[in-house]
Amino acid sequence: METLFGITGKDFVITAYDSKAVASITLMKIGENKSRELNPHTLMLFSGEPGDGVHFSEYIERNIKLYGIRNGIELSPRAVASFARRELADSLRSRKPYSVNLLIAGFDVKTNKPSLYWLDHLASLADVPFAAHGYGAYYCLSLLDRYHREDITEEEGIKLLQKCVGELRNRMILNMPDFVAKVVNKDGIRIVQL
């Protein structure tokens, strides 16, 4: 139900999430924030069980911030993803695991490369050029396969994301509200209009 997208380009990552909060058959809220800024150059999107998503992502957010304060330097996106994966793996082997799926988008300021990581509630971690979570993945991954290139610019990335959202509007039985899109690049994280 809850769809998350992530697309990397030449020097940025664009992410999008559908901003609706659902409780069984009712649409509770539009404009829900399904992302958390872990540090100035890393963004995490979450979907799955609503309470788990917020609880887990805020916990990761605070730990990443603590690392930054303790060491005076921000953790790289790869390290952030590994840390999150480890927490998910530990939770999986506990009495009640977190039921969250994540996309972690980051820009590594040391290597100047963008990166995107796909994590699911079974603690899988994949470093991917583009990714999606939720039913949207079934419709859009093939689109992304066809049109994505490693070196696309931000404008092309936004157009590609618009194509994906358009496809969902056409083919999904559920109404798709506006997606919120955020871009991560060397200047940080900002919202873009789709």
* Sites of contact with other proteins (CB under 8 A): 58-59, 62-63, 65-66, 69-70, 72
What CA–CA distance (Å, rounded) separates 9 from 149?
7
Query: How many Cβ atoms are within 10 Å of 73's Cβ, its own excluded?
Result: 11
State the minimum distance, in angstroms, from the CB of residue 23 to other proteins.
22
State the minimum distance, in angstroms, from the CB of residue 66 to other proteins.
5
64 vs 158, beta carbon nearer other proteins: 64
3-state secondary structure of 115: strand
State the minimum distance, in angstroms, from the CB of residue 61 to other proteins.
8
Please, are residues 56 and 45 in contact by the beta-carbon 8 Å criterion?
Answer: no
What CA–CA distance (Å, rounded) separates 99 from 50?
9
75 vs 152, beta carbon nearer other proteins: 75
44 vs 164, beta carbon nearer other proteins: 44
State the minimum distance, in angstroms, from the CB of residue 148 to other proteins.
36
What CA–CA distance (Å, rounded) separates 61 from 18?
21
In SS3 terms, 11-34 reads as CEEEEEEECEEEECCEEEEECCCC
How far is C-alpha 19 from the geometric centre of its chain's CA atoms? 13
State the minimum distance, in angstroms, from the CB of residue 70 to other proteins.
6
Q: Tell me the residue type at 87.
A: E
62 vs 171, beta carbon nearer other proteins: 62
State the minimum distance, in angstroms, from the CB of residue 62 to other proteins.
4
Angle ∠(76,120,4) on CA atoms, nearest 5? 80
What CA–CA distance (Å, rounded) separates 125 from 110?
22
68 vs 166, beta carbon nearer other proteins: 68
36 vs 85, beta carbon nearer other proteins: 36
